[in-house]
Chain A
Amino acid sequence: MRRSRKSGRVLKSALGASCLATAFAVVVARGAPQEEGAPPPAAAPAGEYVGSEACATCHEEQATALARTAHGRTQAKNWDGVAGCESCHGPGGAHVAGEGDKEKIRNLGNLAAADQSEVCLTCHERGDRAHWQGSPHDGRGLSCLTCHKIHHPADAAVPKALLTKKTEFATCGTCHLKRKAALMRSAHMPMREGTITCTSCHNPHGTTGPTLLKQDSVNENCYSCHAEKRAPMLWEHPPVRENCLNCHDPHGSLHPRMQIAKQPRICQQCHDEARHPTQPYSDASVAPEFFPNSRMFDRGCLNCHSQIHGSNHPAGMRFHR
């Protein structure tokens, strides 16, 4: 029996529902009480702004360290017209008046993750960070401060992008241990050699593409470095054009060119037309010595079908040319 399938109407319904939800959100949000009616969780204690110099009186070490970073250099004001320490920590008047009362200043470490990020997004919600809200990392309770550290010690090198670890690879590897391990595989991207990093392909702040890829599709992402693969071809190989991951694992593999399985099995998972694609190729030419068949050694099936990513040769239908 044919398995039950839902019709395309469900998709259309979902699309419609999303549009309605959007409209609803706009209407509701417009009618929602403004900030003054319901202070947001990240709101700072009320009070006077005192300026960063006042902060440095007690927090000299932090001020010195901060001065070495872009946050220290900038004189840009946030949308409330405030610059310096108080652009993140809120007005420090009550804190100063309270002789350093920690309850009277916004300490980001005490905020919920979403509230921490909200403070950062006040200035940074644009460019690569514009899709943070609702992104996978946001949804799992991570915040900007999970990966970034604003106040590094004054006597230490400041990691790029104020990361919590010395390198981007180490920062991502804190949670993504599997990915870190995968780079030790025989076939891997030049990541542990330092040529590319996680953010060469991914934008951890949220994207419109799948799995936080920087581009809108897997293939567009791969074409960023492999421009020779992007040309429209006379003879297209559909799984290639649809998704590079049908055959490759970019995080590392046991098999050359990061293929997901060994030749010839990787091709035979699809190619079960008659004749040679359907031969098992597990035989030894001369038993008992094992010697690989011509579809097993070197490039396997690609020994003959070498233009497997597509061909522009009139005689390249089977990717020989």
Chain B
Amino acid sequence: MTHGRRIAKGFLVLLSLALVAPSLRAQEADQVEGEVTFGPQYFVDEDNPGAAKFEEYRDVPNGVVAERLVFSWTPKPRFYFDVDAYDLTQRDQRIGVEFGNTDVWRGTIRWTENRRLWTDQAFTLFTNQGGGVFTLEDSFQSAVQAGTTPNTDANADLIWDAGTKGRVVQLGVAAGAQEVFIGHERRNGGVGFEFTPTRSWTFSITGNRERRDGTTPQTLGMFFTLAPAEVAAPYDFRTDWVTGAVEYSSRRLNVGAQVTASTFETAFKSLTWDNQLFLNDTAVSASVANPSRGRMLLGADNHWARVSLFGGLNLPGRTRIDASFSRIETTQDDAFLPMTINSELSPAALPATSYDGKHDTTAGQIRVSSRPSKDFRWSAWVKSFELKNESPGLSFADYVQTDYQFPLCGNLNVCDANGNGMLDDRIARRSLPYGYERRNAGFSLGYTPGSWFVGTLSFERESMEREFSAVKNSDEDIYKLALDFDVGARFGIRTTFRHQERRADEYETHYFEDSFPIGEPAEAAFNEGMRRFYWTDRDRDAAGLLVDWTPHEKFSLYVETTRQDDDYFDPETGQDLGTSFSVMEDRIAPFGTPETYDILLAGRTKDKTTTYTLGVALSPTERFNLYADYAWEKWEYGLETRFRNVSGGVGTDDPLDNWGSDTEDEYATASLGFEAGLTKDAKWRLRLDASRSEGIGNIETHFVPGGAASGNTSLTEFPELKTTLTLAVAALTHVIRPNLDYSLRYWYESWEESNFASDFNEPYMGAPDQDTSMAQALFLGLDFRDYTNHILSFVLRYRY
């Protein structure tokens, strides 16, 4: 729908209500009330018209807008009809309607729109043929195929030499890339009905339908020697939900049941694209063939159903027992795409025609909470959440990588199936249906000797069990202490301390071998020292301090600081991640011989989060209110790892190849606002809301002195990342009558970004002075441009 039509429709609604309201009111006084806010808004100045980042999730048109509509009608006692709508004339409108007979029934209708713009710029050489098929001109593919490699720049003029593939692609992009829109709209509508025949019973049913369509940037992976590409992939997601619920409640208890069913369908199941490097599939060897096309899966339809039962029982002594149980079944049975569409590769038949995937999720909990006396309370709970993966583990003989090759087994000891003593056996891969169970049990004790103090001590243990994982079992003990002090009504201190210890039973780095039904072909590729942060041992310490002080009724102050430190350890040795040690073992057991080599415990070594927050509120007079906030937050991630190659069947575990990285993200946000009555009768008011938010990211990388991880000796640091958002909205309001006012509003918004991941993005990324490994790639060149907008609006608000 065009913006013009939206404006027309929006104002039609407003006009209808404006006409209806007086007649409704005429029937009986005070039965209709509401508010309408509308007026023109114009971009008076902008340095990037229509900036996608500015409208990433919203629609800000240049013209008349209806910001808000509230309509409340009481046709007769207890009956009501309420409308609450935002941005009626825009493509991000939200409308809620609620009506009913108080205490008996209630109906709801809800409609929301949410747009998403991905970029200011996108260019593509591909032609969208519909149905998720993207093609290139045959002549272009032929020219690239005929081009030479390696790409050379003999005269060092930063232009690839004529005839090279890089130059052909570069020229093709320059001559033929067309601008393409990337964005989608999410539209969500729902209806609900609730029936309360008696005080104790509530029945409800709700239905919800969501449609999401548009395009999204989709990168298209190829094998290293081929070139990746990127297209504006179409998508059309359709999700429907329906829920029915019943609940009985009385003074003593409430019990209920809820059943929800949902389906998800995608109109585009796959994406097929021409490979810019080859016009036709071309065999290279018995196991390798250059593909003229690639195909990937975009999504799978699925069904989701949940049944939940819940209840609570109030016992004397202010004791309550809550229990709930839910079971979710998520299934999909989408037909498999073929292993490859490369006509020169003929893999074995797939083990099934579709994937009969099924997740059974079961959650249950029992909680007892009690406040037996005024100064003491306690609670205890047991929770369980299990994702049981009932999907089959399928074995795929003749696995094909990126429509390009059959990867071959590199270890005759384990997979010389044909017994010819040659490394020509195609590997097989088996899917590993991952599942896990999380159990949590704990208790909490609270002590409140008076209104001045609340102390809470709690302990809980969270246990995990996993399938197909390096860590099968782990337990985490969590201790929490909260001490809150209130000195009178005006001064409060809240402190929180938390200590957590997560311990894994063992860390089995070879867990993935289940994925190789005929044997692990490249044992040494996997790192014995690998310790993934979400599985390995971890200690976490967190503390928080909050001070809330209101020294005077006209002034209040809020200060908060928090700190959280995570450290990661090896479950086997207890050593910190990032440390190394020597072992003597057979690295390709049982086929090799024991040898001494160095293991680095690699992975995330630590996280730290530090925050400071300050808030001030000041109301010196009735006509003036001011607030100011400042929040500073810093995230730090530590990484220690090692460049490892595979040589002669074993990994190159050289301590000189160790390297590490400290990643820091720092955020600072300041806000200031005030509202002032400019005249004694407050008919003239001035309001300001302003904020500035800055995010800075740094990635420091360090190496072993004298070392050269991955052989690189000219290492440079990552550039600093930085984004700054500045916002200010000032409104001068004149109240003409108690129910009628107008505002002259100025809205300033500016956004700047320095981001190495996107600032360099172009449709052609691989010129000689750029990343030459991408000389034959085709990207969309996505980027959000900086913007500065000045918007002036005149807003009329009428309450009726």
Q: Could you list some 28 contacts between A and B, CB below 8 A?
A: A3-B537, A74-B103, A125-B249, A127-B247, A133-B322, A141-B484, A177-B631, A181-B613, A186-B725, A194-B87, A231-B330, A232-B433, A233-B300, A233-B357, A269-B603, A272-B527, A272-B642, A275-B645, A279-B710, A280-B703, A282-B715, A294-B228, A298-B757, A304-B222, A307-B297, A313-B336, A314-B399, A319-B221
Given A273-B527, A279-B709, CB of A17 within 8 Å of CB of B380: yes
Q: Does B14 contact A (CB under 8 A)?
A: no
Q: Does B379 contact A (CB under 8 A)?
A: yes
Q: Does B591 contact A (CB under 8 A)?
A: no
Given A18-B381, A26-B321, CB of A254 within 8 Å of CB of B716: no
Q: Does A235 contact B (CB under 8 A)?
A: yes
Q: Does B239 contact A (CB under 8 A)?
A: yes
Given A160-B84, A261-B665, A303-B228, CB of A314 within 8 Å of CB of B300: no
B401 — which chain A residues lie within 8 A by C-beta?
Answer: 315, 318, 320
B92 touches A242 (CB 8 A): no
B770 touches A291 (CB 8 A): yes
Q: Does B436 contact A (CB under 8 A)?
A: yes
Q: Please, which residue of chain B has its CB at the minimum distance from the CB of A35?
A: B316
Residues 460-484 of B, flagged 1 when their CB comes within 8 A of A and 0 if not, give 0101001011000101010000101
B645 touches A228 (CB 8 A): no
B553 — which chain A residues lie within 8 A by C-beta?
Answer: none
Task: A285-B770, A305-B221 are known; give 15 further A-B pairs, CB within 8 A.
Answer: A25-B319, A141-B454, A155-B738, A181-B667, A182-B633, A236-B389, A262-B718, A280-B659, A284-B714, A296-B756, A298-B758, A302-B219, A306-B221, A311-B296, A316-B296
B316 touches A208 (CB 8 A): no
Q: Which of A177-223 contact B (CB under 8 A)?
A: 177-178, 180-182, 184-186, 190, 193-195, 208, 216-217, 220, 223
Residues 219-262 of A, flagged 1 when their CB comes within 8 A of B and 0 if not, give 01001000110111111101101110010000001111000111
- Compute how far the CA of A314 lies from the CA of B651 in the bound complex, rounded to whole angstroms: 28
Chain B contributes a number of interface residues (CB within 8 A of A) equal to 223
Q: Please, which residue of chain A has its CB at the minimum distance from the CB of B303?
A: A231
B334 — which chain A residues lie within 8 A by C-beta?
Answer: 312
A265 touches B661 (CB 8 A): yes
Q: Please, which residue of chain A has its CB at the minimum distance from the CB of B629?
A: A177
B725 — which chain A residues lie within 8 A by C-beta?
Answer: 184, 186
Q: Does B503 contact A (CB under 8 A)?
A: yes
Residues 30-65 of A, flagged 1 when their CB comes within 8 A of B and 0 if not, give 101111000011000000000000000000000000
Q: Please, which residue of chain B has its CB at the minimum distance from the CB of A177?
A: B613
- Compute how far the CA of A294 lies from the CA of B219 in the bound complex, rounded to whole angstroms: 12
- Taking chain A's interface residues, is the majority helix, strand, or loop, or is none over half, making it mixed? loop
Nearest CB on B from A1, distance (A): 5
A320 touches B402 (CB 8 A): yes
- Compute how far the CA of A28 lies from the CA of B317 in the bound complex, rounded to whole angstroms: 8
User: Contact check: which of B359, B429, B473 meets A8 at CB < 8 Å?
Assistant: B473
A18 touches B299 (CB 8 A): no
Q: Does B779 contact A (CB under 8 A)?
A: yes
- Compute how far the CA of A33 lies from the CA of B317 in the bound complex, rounded to whole angstroms: 8
- Compute how far the CA of A40 lies from the CA of B374 in the bound complex, rounded to whole angstroms: 9
A190 touches B57 (CB 8 A): yes
Chain A interface size, as a band, is 35 or more
B219 touches A321 (CB 8 A): no
Nearest CB on A from B87, distance (A): 8
B330 touches A181 (CB 8 A): no
A140 — which chain B residues lie within 8 A by C-beta?
Answer: 454, 456, 482, 484, 494
Q: Does B497 contact A (CB under 8 A)?
A: no
B294 — which chain A residues lie within 8 A by C-beta?
Answer: 321
A265 — which chain B residues lie within 8 A by C-beta?
Answer: 637, 639, 661, 663, 699
- Compute how far the CA of A28 lies from the CA of B67 in the bound complex, rounded to whole angstroms: 57
B221 touches A303 (CB 8 A): yes
Nearest CB on A from B214, distance (A): 14
A186 touches B296 (CB 8 A): no
Q: Please, which residue of chain A has its CB at the minimum distance from the CB of B403?
A: A315
B385 — which chain A residues lie within 8 A by C-beta?
Answer: 216-217
B693 touches A185 (CB 8 A): yes
User: Contact check: which of B239, B312, B611, B769 meets A291 at CB < 8 Å?
Assistant: B769
B740 — which chain A residues lie within 8 A by C-beta?
Answer: none
B228 touches A234 (CB 8 A): no
Residues 488-506 of B, flagged 1 when their CB comes within 8 A of A and 0 if not, give 0000001000000001010
B761 touches A270 (CB 8 A): no
A254 touches B709 (CB 8 A): no
Given A17-B380, A217-B385, A280-B710, CB of A270 within 8 Å of CB of B769: no
Q: Which 6 A-B pairs have the closest CB atoms?
A: A232-B357, A134-B369, A184-B693, A304-B221, A181-B631, A231-B302
B219 touches A303 (CB 8 A): yes
Residues 191-215 of B, flagged 1 when their CB comes within 8 A of A and 0 if not, give 0000000010010000000100000
Residues 520-540 of B, flagged 1 when their CB comes within 8 A of A and 0 if not, give 000011110110111001000
B94 touches A299 (CB 8 A): no
- Compute how far the CA of A74 lies from the CA of B264 in the bound complex, rounded to whole angstroms: 39
B297 — which chain A residues lie within 8 A by C-beta?
Answer: 307, 311-313, 316, 321
Q: Does B160 contact A (CB under 8 A)?
A: no
Report the stretch among B163-171, B279-287, B567-575 that lies at the interface.
B567-575
A231 — which chain B residues lie within 8 A by C-beta?
Answer: 264, 299-302, 330, 332, 357
Q: Does B620 contact A (CB under 8 A)?
A: no
Report the stretch among B21-29, B442-450, B676-684 that lies at the interface.
B442-450
B254 touches A73 (CB 8 A): no
Given A32-B316, A126-B249, A304-B222, CB of A272 within 8 Å of CB of B602: yes
A274 touches B646 (CB 8 A): yes
B469 — which chain A residues lie within 8 A by C-beta?
Answer: 238
A25 touches B663 (CB 8 A): no
Most chain B CB neighbours (cut-off 10 Å) among A241, A253, A262, A268: A262
- Compute how far the CA of A143 lies from the CA of B68 in the bound complex, rounded to whole angstroms: 31
Q: Does B148 contact A (CB under 8 A)?
A: no
Nearest CB on A from B210, distance (A): 8
- Compute how far the CA of A247 lies from the CA of B751 in the bound complex, rounded to whole angstroms: 25
- Compute how far the CA of A315 lies from the CA of B399 in the bound complex, rounded to whole angstroms: 6
A127 touches B716 (CB 8 A): no
Q: Does B346 contact A (CB under 8 A)?
A: no
B324 touches A208 (CB 8 A): yes
Q: Please, which residue of chain B has its CB at the minimum distance from the CB of A76?
A: B103
Q: Does A278 contact B (CB under 8 A)?
A: yes
User: Contact check: which of B87, B560, B721 meets A254 at CB < 8 Å?
Assistant: B721
A32 touches B396 (CB 8 A): no
Given A76-B103, A233-B300, CB of A299 within 8 Å of CB of B219: yes
Nearest CB on A from B425, distance (A): 17
User: Contact check: which of B94, B296, B438 meets A313 at CB < 8 Å?
Assistant: B296
Q: Does A98 contact B (CB under 8 A)?
A: no
B210 — which chain A residues lie within 8 A by C-beta?
Answer: 227
A293 touches B771 (CB 8 A): yes
User: Contact check: which of A186, A195, A256, A311 meets B695 at CB < 8 Å?
Assistant: A186
B765 touches A297 (CB 8 A): yes
B756 — which chain A residues lie within 8 A by C-beta?
Answer: 290, 292, 296-297
A238 — which chain B residues lie within 8 A by C-beta?
Answer: 434, 466, 468-469
B524 touches A274 (CB 8 A): yes
A22 touches B380 (CB 8 A): yes
- Compute how far the CA of A236 lies from the CA of B466 in the bound complex, rounded to whole angstroms: 13
A25 — which chain B residues lie within 8 A by C-beta?
Answer: 315, 319, 321, 368, 370
Q: Which of B214-241 contact A (CB under 8 A)?
A: 217-222, 224, 228, 230, 237, 239
A278 touches B710 (CB 8 A): yes
Q: Which of B408-431 contact A (CB under 8 A)?
A: 429, 431
- Compute how far the CA of A227 lies from the CA of B261 in the bound complex, rounded to whole angstroms: 12
Most chain B CB neighbours (cut-off 10 Å) among A75, A233, A253: A233
Given A114-B371, A125-B312, A254-B697, CB of A274 within 8 Å of CB of B387: no
A292 touches B399 (CB 8 A): no
A6 touches B709 (CB 8 A): no
User: Contact check: which of A131, A180, A287 meets B629 at CB < 8 Å?
Assistant: A180
- Compute how far the CA of A184 lies from the CA of B774 in the bound complex, rounded to whole angstroms: 34
B461 touches A14 (CB 8 A): yes
